[in-house]
Amino acid sequence: MRIADVAGGYAPGAEVLRGVTFALEPGTIAAVLGPNGGGKTTLFRALLGELAFRTGTVELDGRPAYVPQTDRTRLDFPVSALDVVLMGAYGRTPAWRRIARADRQAARAALGRVGLEDVARKRFGALSGGQRQRVLIARALLQDSRVLLLDEPLSGVDTASAVRIETVFDELRAEGRILLVATHDVEQARRWDRVVCLNGEQVAFGRPAEVLTTDVLRRTYGPELVVLAGGEQAVAVDHHRH
């Protein structure tokens, strides 16, 4: 996955993001850090090919799978957890054909992988926030993409769900997939392989130990950054609202 000098936005001449250049090898988990409005979602939309105006080069191995935050879905929609996972097969199934048996089996396996085989028939909107997030990750697993883009998948989920999600992340890395994970959690980002810091432009890219310095975080978050006593740790304050 290679991105070279990517810039873009939602109207001509009004760039929301610029100067993004990095490359990720297969089997990498990269954190995407940045304040609200810093360009995390814009970067994902650029990688998905959905940005209205974009310059630069994006090289990807196939279409990425995108995992939104669970509160972006319609909780009153009459579907089960399994129905939602099966949506991952819609893109490759002609409108006049039934979902293939292999895809149905794969959907159940994906639910099992995120620890939710027991709630396959339960209404999606009746699940907990953490369970819903795991269902959306299972849907991305069914898409079987080499690259997964995840928008704050660990934000506000229960501990059991967070542990399961991080286990799945490790498994996907071992399979050679690339995961880009938008997050506000600096400590979480330190545990992964690479980090991209965005604030309207690329502030830094590299290994967490080299990149996540107080200076870089200050340039990434500006006034949202709180430096803890002693100056050795910095915390990004999450002002995210939906």
Partner 1 sequence: MLDWLTDPFASDLMRRALAEVLILALACGPLGVWVLLYRQSYAAESLSHAMLPGLVIAALVGAPLLLGAVGGVLAAAVAIALASRDERLGGDAAVAVAIAGLFGLGALLALSPDVPARLGELLFGDLLGVTGSDLVEAAVLAGGVAVALVLGHRRLALSVFDRTAAPSLGARPGRWELVLLVLLAICTAAAVRGLGNLLVVALILAPAAAALNLVARLPVALGLATALAGLAGTLGLLVSYHWEVAAGASVALAAVGVFALSLFAPAVRHP
Helix, coil or strand: residue 13: coil
Indicate the burial class of 206 (C-beta count within 10 angstroms; 0-12, 13-18, 19 or more): middle
Interface pick for partner 1 out of 73, 104, 188, 206 (rule CB under 8 A): 73
* Distance of closest approach, residue 91 Cβ to partner 1, in angstroms: 3
95 forms part of the interface with partner 1 (CB under 8 A): yes
3 state DSSP class of 170:
helix
Among 3, 32, 84, 217, binds partner 1 (CB under 8 A): 84
Stretch that binds partner 1, among 109-117, 119-127, 179-187, 196-204 (CB under 8 A): 119-127
d(CA 241, CA 224): 14
Q: Which stretch binds partner 1 (CB under 8 A): 31-39, 64-72, 209-217, 226-234?
A: 64-72
- Nearer Cβ to partner 1, position 13 or 91? 91
Query: Should residue 67 be labelled a site residue for partner 1 when binding is judged by CB under 8 A?
Result: yes
Residue 65 in the binding site for partner 1 (CB under 8 A): yes
Interacting residues of 106 by C-beta distance below 8 A, sequence separation 6+: 89, 142, 144
Residues 127-156 that bind partner 1 (CB under 8 A): 127, 136, 139, 143
Residue 171's H or E segment, with its range, is helix 159-174
CB 67 within 8 A of CB 232: no
Q: Give the burial class of 45: count Cβ atoms within 10 A of its Cβ; 0-12 exposed, 13-18 middle, 19 or more buried.
A: buried
48 binds partner 1 (CB under 8 A): yes
Pick from 66, 169, 192, 205: which binds partner 1 (CB under 8 A)? 66
| Site for partner 1 contains 87 (CB under 8 A) | yes
